[in-house]
Chain A
Amino acid sequence: MKNSQTSSDSLEKLIRDCQNGVESAWEELVARFGLVVHNFAYSMTNNQADAEEAAQEIFVKLIKNIQKFEFKSSFKTWLHRVVVNGVIDFTKKKKRHTKVSLDEIDPNNVASIAHNDKPSGEIEREEIREKVWKILNELPEHYRAIMIMREMEERSYAEIAEILECPVGTVESRLYRARNMFLEKLKYYEGK
């Protein structure tokens, strides 16, 4: 209890220092939350260079918006809201430049990387991973984001609802639709 109080006090001080433009505080904020931002950005883009670019954009956005945080809610939730919305905007912007249609993809070519020297179990796992990224990339941004928050980050419905600022019922129905979309694409790639 005492430890969590201390840690929330130190987080509050860190945020106040960031609001005052203290560079060392920003360094600490990047060290503490950079991983979360990077992982979400990578999951949304499936591209390391894009993930880094998105993460940079998010932190620049945070500099411009951190004054708006008034300590009335959880900083982590507020931060994730900025991250989710920022990365969704980033992927939409990128998509305008590199649009790929499902019809242009040959299902037989999915997971076609040469696996000559790998054991069959590893090849299978790699193929699954490739399918996951391909399918995720084809989901509309909002469905992709909610799938990542639930299946990869393992967030509760209440947390997701708070981040997306929507009712829990919306989270339930959006996840259900996202799962069905995922399944449809999976069947397509598996030729079923």
Chain B
Amino acid sequence: MMSCEKYEQLISIFIDGEISPEKKSELDVHLQNCTDCSEKLEQFKNIGNMMKSANIPEWTKKSQDSIMRAVSKELPKESNIYSIEKMVKRLVAVAALVAVVLFAGLVNNSTKKDTVEPQKRYSLATELVASNSSLPLSVALEMWDLSKSEDVDVKD
């Protein structure tokens, strides 16, 4: 035979609709013979009714906005994966642009070396030879090369 305290716990489970059929039958029998537990059943039910009558103020757009303001402040914007993706895309674009510029520069430079520079080198060397007939062409060409490496204008 269980004590009233154990039955009271069953009453609590019963009003929540969570009691097993066996325990419910056991409780039924006890309630028919125990006025204290029958009273407890009514009291526990009454708590539920009272609590359901307690009203909660409406959830407003203002409350929602105040939460969102707090959320926005805390969002880790810089570590945001989308920001990282955007940053990587930007870096790739800049790198591609730099590569194009460098490549164009190289092409331009090599074209000058192959076509313009040897011609210029030769014409300047022949000018030097013309102004100084004792100067061999090979030396004049070397002087041109030297002036290029020292960034000195041969004409001066």
Contact = CB atoms under 8 A, between A and B. Distances in A.
Interface of A: 20-23, 26-27, 30-31, 34-35, 38-39, 42-43, 48, 51-52, 55-56, 59-60, 63-64, 125, 128-129, 131-133, 136, 147-148, 150-152, 156-157, 172-173, 175-176, 179-180, 182-183, 186
Contact of B48 (A52, A131, A151): A151
Given A39-B56, A129-B54, A21 B8 contact: no
Contacts, number: 106
Contacts of A186: 47
B72 to A, nearest CB: 6
Contact of A179 (B47, B54, B70, B72): B47
Contact of A30 (B52, B55, B71): B71
B53 A128 contact: yes
Interface residues of B, number: 35
B80 interface: yes
B9 A60 contact: no
Contacts of B48: 151
B63 A34 contact: yes
